[in-house]
């Protein structure tokens, strides 16, 4: 299992360009594999810190998504169950790790221009809706 984290700083979202498979060279949100004995929220915090150097506060569960990637023969090469979280930036300057080649903060209205996986775009939009939903 793995986590993905939609990190917000004001009204901008954090994007990373993956330096390793799966989806190497593509823009995405920070995240990675859960370690044995680690809670999913702790995984979210750790992965953001490891990939970007940022400290965040994990706020809301967004959704659980299956990511299945197949090779040219149709054989499954990657299968992750992704637990996606929203988080708010607390402090730090975003700097890429070995798993990340670039980092940037973007306006969510510009997501399509970065060729992001459609599921990731949907998750980011869902996170944005959650952030602005009034309490009842």
**What tens digit of pLDDT does each residue of 59-92 get?**
999 999 998 889 999 999 988 899 999 999 999 9
| pLDDT the model gives residue 108 | 93
* CATH code (residue 59): 3.90.79.10
Which residues are part of the catalytic machinery? Answer: 102
Q: Is residue 13 part of a domain?
A: yes
Q: Is residue 79 part of a domain?
A: yes
Largest CA distance in the chain: 50
Helix (H, G, I), strand (E, B) or coil at 110: helix
The gap from C-alpha 113 to its chain's centroid, in whole angstroms, comes to 17
Q: Which two tokens stand for residue 105?
A: 């903060």
| pLDDT the model gives residue 62 | 97
Q: Is residue 47 part of a domain?
A: yes
How far apart are the C-alpha atoms of 56 and 74, rounded to whole Å? 38
| pLDDT the model gives residue 92 | 96
**pLDDT at residue 134 greater than cutoff 90:** no
* pTM recorded for the entire structure: 0.89
Number of domains in the chain: 1
Q: Is residue 107 part of a domain?
A: yes
Q: Is residue 102 part of a domain?
A: yes
Q: Is residue 136 part of a domain?
A: no
Q: Which domain holds residue 86?
A: 2-131
Q: Taking residues 39-44, what's their average pLDDT?
A: 96
Q: Is residue 108 part of a domain?
A: yes
Helix (H, G, I), strand (E, B) or coil at 62: strand
Per-residue confidence at 57, pLDDT binned at 50, 70, 90? very high
**pLDDT at residue 17 greater than cutoff 90:** yes
Q: Is residue 23 part of a domain?
A: yes
How far apart are the C-alpha atoms of 43 and 35, rounded to whole Å? 7
Measured in degrees and rounded to the nearest 5, phi and psi for residue 74 equal 95, 0
**pLDDT at residue 136 greater than cutoff 70:** no
| pLDDT the model gives residue 73 | 96
Helix (H, G, I), strand (E, B) or coil at 39: coil
User: Which residue in 26, 31, 38 sits closest to 6, CA to CA?
Assistant: 31
Measured in degrees and rounded to the nearest 5, phi and psi for residue 22 equal -80, 160
Per-residue confidence at 27, pLDDT binned at 50, 70, 90? very high
């Amino acid at each position: 299992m793995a986590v993905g984290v939609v990190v917000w700083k004001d009204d901008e979202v954090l994007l990373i360009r993956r330096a390793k498979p799966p989806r190497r060279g593509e823009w995405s949100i920070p995240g990675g594999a859960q370690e044995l004995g680690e809670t999913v929220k702790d995984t979210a915090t750790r992965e953001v810190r490891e990939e970007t150097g940022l400290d965040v506060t994990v706020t809301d569960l967004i959704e659980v998504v299956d990511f299945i990637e197949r090779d040219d023969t149709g054989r499954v090469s990657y299968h992750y169950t992704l637990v996606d979280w929203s988080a708010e930036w607390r402090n730090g300057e975003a700097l890429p790790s070995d798993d990340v080649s670039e980092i940037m903060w973007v306006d969510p209205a510009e997501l399509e221009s970065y060729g992001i996986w459609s599921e990731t775009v949907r998750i980011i939009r869902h996170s944005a809706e959650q952030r602005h939903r009034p309490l009842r």
